[in-house]
Amino acid sequence: MASRRDVRCRCGRWMSAQPGVSSIQCSTCHTVTQLSSSLVDIARGANRVLQGIQQLRRQHKQQQQQPQQQQQIMAQPPPPPPKRQHKQQQQQIMAQPPPPPKLLEPLPSPFGKKRAVICGLDYKGKSYSLEGCISDAKSMRTFLVKQMGFPIDSILMLTEDEASPQRIPTKKNIRKAMRWLVEGNRARDSLVFHYSGHGSQQKDYNGDEVDGQDEALAPLDHETEGKIIDDEINKTLVRPLVHGAKLHAVIDACNSGTVLDLPSVCRMERNGFYEWERQTSGRTYKGTNGGTAICLSACDDHEASGYTPVFTGKNAGAMTYSFIKAVKTAGPAPTYGHLLNLMCSAIREAQSRLARDENYTSPEETAEPLLTSSEEFDIYATKFVL
């Protein structure tokens, strides 16, 4: 530790200076004597050395204490095993339902300019099973991607062949997919809804059908969960369409003529002449929110749709195949009237070839595609654009 320093004033008086001070004043003559700065630095350095020694001692002491603490922790006995739960509590836990299975993949983004929902149902293992509906769905997906420029990740497929439980065409999943399709729709959006499976009719209970019958789609679990009727389809797919957004529905099912409950039905004769017919009773609005909805159905409400092996060598929906073929062969920017005539001609030709088969029983009336719309338009002037 630094000691006091004796300093002599000019008057001859001796003074004692404290360590670390730079000057001292004489009490007799009041003269201020400056002390050497080197002595001050030496005193400050000594203090820093002393502090360093003290810090080293503390660290050494802590290092000696750590092994002792570890030995004390290791010497402690292990915690006692958890108490056994009461038998009744264990039974309650075992009775709880298992957690829901995780979905294998999320839904695609609903905000692409082009997006589609495609449903194909063969009802495998059922007495009313169909052939070719899943094939129809795959053909439609290929057509939309390769011919119409739809991104593959903007198409939501629902078939029995899908691995994800979210992609099985149950009533819940089809409802969810329809909501996804129109969610946040905007001007210049092109939306497609394709369904290949069973369709049917049932009694209309709200009085909005001219014929007293609601049209319906049959999900995979319709026996337990019920069908999806046209009132719900219209409310979900049609009503939310905003100005500039367009929905095309292609329905390959029986009794599907007005399954979207669109107010205007295009009645076309074989010579190409057509006229519009109002479908709804007027009690409930069935139009859009400014957008456009057009549906191409396999047949009228009272008819059964057809499927034939003439097109591809295996059973396929006549509606799906004739639609895809008509768009491919019609050339650039065909009109709706041109497409309808091509589709009807292809189906008539296929039925004619089948009729030459001795084992084939021709139906009394050949079902032909039906066009319905949210508004009337000139089908021979309006271009078909997806």
Annotation marks residue 254 as catalytic: yes
Backbone dihedral angles phi then psi of residue 116, each to the nearest 5 degrees = -150, 150
To 10 degrees, what angle do helices 318-329 and 336-355 make? 130
Q: Quick one: which of 234, 213, 231, 101 has its CA closest to 164?
A: 101
From 198, 222, 248, 338, active-site residue: 198
- How do beta strands 246-252 and 292-297 pair? parallel
Residue holding tokens 């959006």? 189
* Spatial contact of 237 and 178, defined as CB atoms under 8 Å apart: yes
Helix, strand or coil, per DSSP, at residue 326: helix
Q: Which of 133, 254, 299, 344 is catalytic?
A: 254
Other residues' Cβ atoms within 10 Å of the Cβ of residue 3: 6
Residue bearing tokens 């497609």: 192
Distance of alpha carbon 22 from alpha carbon 24, whole angstroms: 7
Residue 278's beta-bridge partner residues?
Answer: 264
Running DSSP on this structure, what letter comes out for residue 151?
Answer: -
Q: What's the rounded Cα separation, in Å, for the pair 381 and 386?
A: 16
The DSSP code for 217 is E
Active site members: 198, 254
